[in-house]
Amino acid sequence: MPEFTYIAKKTTGQQVKGSISATGLREAIAALTQQALYPMRVEAAQREQPARGWLAWRTPRVKSEPVAMALSQLADLLASGVPLLEALNILATQTPHPTLSQVLGKVRDDVADGSALDEALAKHPRVFPDLVVSIVRAGSAGAFLEDALEQTSEFLGMQEELKARVKGAMAYPVFLAVMGTLVTVALIVFFVPKFSELFAKLEKEGSLPWATSTLLWLSGALWRYGLILIGLVLGILAAWRRFAASPRGQRVMDAVRLRLLFFGPIVCGFAVARCCRVLGTLLKNGVPLLRALAISSDATGNRIFAEAIRASASNVSSGDTLSEPLASSGLFPPQVMAMVRVAEESNTLDTVLLQIADRIERRNVRKLDMLVRFVEPALLLVMGGLMLFVITALLLPVFEMGSSLE
């Protein structure tokens, strides 16, 4: 039976903390009330997730599209009256994706052994991210599991569509950048040394142009220390990847993403949109505000936003409105906070949050499309500048030699 942690007050006003076993959130609150306790905060206990260790990361990643389709099919089966265990068995046997089919079979076995669905999904973080697990957990506790699965499927589908659009738009610029870099390096390493003797004679007669001297130095350095440089770059990338996988590194990466030139506001906008969409959806389905804030903090995909939302949840539990702590964080746009403030006064917070999410996502998609369109000409200018530098550095001594002969 699931465990719930709680913070409650006795009739004497004394605050107590503890845990209680119950089949759901409502049952846990009812049990505390029967014990003459006034619940202030009740949430699912942090479950032990041994599969998040080395064994869990052996599971290959599964793209969001097949996961979204599986969750949508599970929602349809449950809505049709099929029991959960049987629905999982159907999905495990009929899903065409081999890795996802294997994972769904493990989820079915865990549910058959008595685990909750969200607990079984949490054991496979490379297939079911925290967003999926959190919303499914809220749907199970709030008795709207079918809707939660369908909404999660829509979220994953929207994310996959956005990723596909960005990848498709960036394919050609990335190809240009890679090929341009390879051609430039090949010229510097293999072509420039053929002129070294000529440039050495010219250098004895007079000084070489700075561009030619720089190009010769760069060519010699790459020729002599190229392998060492490649090893150093690979080592730095490996160390950075390991650091980025740590909790501190993930937080640093999230902070850097928010401050990136041009891309930072887009990343921030999508985080705000995801938070508003998940929070509005949960409130619309009757999830308490504090619980909905805890779930939506995991849905932002950014730890800086998650910390701000959790801090706002603690302020809300002490009696403040939602708009005040969120506005003080400085992460949410002022116009969004103004709409949230009005929605709180008119008791239409769930509807307004969904409208905010729609507007921000449409605006961010337009910004992203425009930004991607500028990437291609910018890369062409950079590659052209590099090629121009190489050609100019090679030809300047020849021009100077010709002018001296006249």
Domain ranges in the chain are: 3-44, 53-157, 158-406
132 in Cβ contact with 121 (< 8 Å)? yes
Q: What pLDDT tens digit does each residue of the chain (406 aa) get?
A: 566 777 777 777 677 787 777 766 667 777 877 877 777 677 766 544 444 444 444 556 777 788 888 888 888 888 888 888 888 888 888 888 888 888 888 888 888 877 888 888 888 888 887 778 877 877 776 667 788 788 788 878 877 777 777 777 778 778 888 888 888 888 888 888 887 777 777 777 666 788 888 888 888 888 888 889 889 989 999 998 888 878 888 888 888 888 888 888 888 888 888 888 888 877 887 777 887 887 777 777 788 888 888 888 777 776 677 778 788 878 888 888 888 888 888 888 888 888 888 888 888 888 888 887 888 788 888 888 888 888 888 888 777 666 655 5
| d(C-alpha 70, C-alpha 64), whole Å | 10
Kindly state which CATH superfamily the domain 158-406 is placed in. Type II secretion system (T2SS), domain F (1.20.81.30)
Query: How far is 283 from 22, CA to CA, in rounded Å?
Result: 22
CA distance 352 to 355: 5
Tell me the β-bridge partners of 44: 4
CATH of domain 53-157: 1.20.81.30
Contact 199, 212 (CB under 8 A): yes
> Three-state SS for 275?
helix
Cβ–Cβ contacts within 10 Å for residue 55, how many?
10
Residue 49's pLDDT is 44
CA 18 vs. chain centroid, Å, equals 33
Q: Do domains 53-157 and 158-406 have the same CATH topology?
A: yes
Dist. CA 264–CA 302, nearest whole Å:
12
Half-sphere exposure of 386 (CA within 13 A, CB side): 18
Pairing of strands 3-10, 15-21: antiparallel
**Residue 41 · residue 293 · CB < 8 Å:** no
pLDDT of residue 404: 56
Q: Which amino acid is at 40?
A: M
The pair of three-digit structure tokens given for residue 272, joined into one six-digit string: 């705000």
CA angle 50, 310, 341 (to 5 degrees): 145
Neighbours of 186 (CB within 10 A): 10
- Beta-carbon contacts of residue 73 (< 8 Å; ≥ 6 apart): 91
The per-residue pLDDT for 48 is: 43
* Nearest CA among 299, 349, 307 for reference residue 326: 307
